[in-house]
């Protein structure tokens, strides 16, 4: 191997090693996970049920995803939070922003706006169900959901509560320490 190639390889390893070590880490215990369960209501309508596993109190979630059905143009036309963990926790803002032009959705959930103390306690379960339909009335034969190819600056993220633990041993954390990068898992129901 030439000296320049060795140097470039060595520098690449040094730069990427810390990034690889950070992937999948969670300051609070087990890695949090967002599940996107894809199912079909009928040939032209599908659902994506977003569930979340967390082992710490969470006060904010940002879940962006891109949808692709090949040549079939699709739209996320509604989202239902009713009956999910966010609705049960009485979060202040359960947001839904579809973008038909680039076939993506951003779900933004904020627990508290004002003097409230709502949070998503540790657990596992459904947050929201997003309904997707074909714009042209064609069958949705194949639907892929991807959280890694959305707009710059919009990434999968959770925000932990600034106070973790019980009153006797609680600690207050700064904002940077509260950001969580959950794992993303897509599961498909059988048609």
pLDDT 10s digits, 43-89: 999 999 999 999 999 999 999 999 999 999 999 999 999 999 999 99
- Band (pLDDT 50/70/90 cuts) for residue 166 is low
- Band (pLDDT 50/70/90 cuts) for residue 10 is very low
pLDDT at 167: 55
pLDDT digits (tens, 9 = 90+) for 129-156: 999 999 999 999 999 999 976 777 789 9
pLDDT digits (tens, 9 = 90+) for 95-105: 999 998 889 99
pLDDT at 18: 38
- Of 128, 110, 127, nearest to 119 (Cα)? 110
pLDDT at 19: 36
Is the pLDDT assigned to residue 15 strictly greater than 50?
no
- Compute CA distances 14 → 5, 8, 23, 24, 81, whole Å: 14, 10, 15, 19, 44
Is the pLDDT assigned to residue 94 strictly greater than 50?
yes
**Helix H or strand E encompassing 127:** strand 123-134
Ramachandran bin of 24, using left for φ above 0, alpha for ψ from -120 to 50, beta for the remaining angles? left
- Of 131, 144, 139, nearest to 46 (Cα)? 131
Which comes out higher in pLDDT, residue 15 or 57? 57
What share of the chain has pLDDT > 70, as a percent? 79
What pTM was estimated for this model as a whole?
A: 0.81
Average pLDDT over residues 97-114: 92
pLDDT at 8: 41
pLDDT digits (tens, 9 = 90+) for 20-48: 344 456 777 899 999 999 999 999 999 99
Q: How far apart are CA 162 and CA 174, in angstroms?
A: 7
Give all domains of the chain, ordered by start, each with its CATH number. 27-188 (2.60.40.680)
Average pLDDT over residues 107-124: 91
């Amino acid at each position: 191997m030439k000296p320049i190639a060795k140097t470039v390889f060595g520098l690449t390893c040094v730069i990427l090693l810390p990034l690889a070590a950070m992937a999948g880490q969670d300051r609070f215990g087990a890695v949090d996970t967002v599940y996107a369960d894809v199912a079909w209501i009928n040939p032209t309508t599908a659902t994506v049920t977003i569930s979340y596993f967390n082992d710490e109190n969470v006060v904010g979630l940002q879940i962006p995803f891109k949808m692709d059905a090949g040549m079939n143009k699709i739209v996320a036309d509604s989202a239902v939070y009713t009956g999910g963990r966010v609705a049960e926790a009485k979060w202040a803002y359960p947001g839904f922003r579809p973008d038909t032009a680039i076939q993506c959705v951003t779900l933004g959930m904020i627990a508290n706006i004002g003097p409230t103390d709502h949070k998503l306690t540790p657990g596992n379960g459904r947050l929201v169900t997003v309904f997707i339909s074909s714009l042209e009335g064609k069958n949705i034969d194949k639907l892929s959901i991807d959280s890694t190819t959305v707009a710059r600056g919009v990434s999968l993220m959770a925000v932990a509560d600034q106070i973790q633990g019980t009153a006797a041993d609680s600690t207050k954390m700064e904002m940077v320490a509260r950001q969580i990068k959950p794992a993303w898992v897509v599961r498909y129901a059988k048609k």
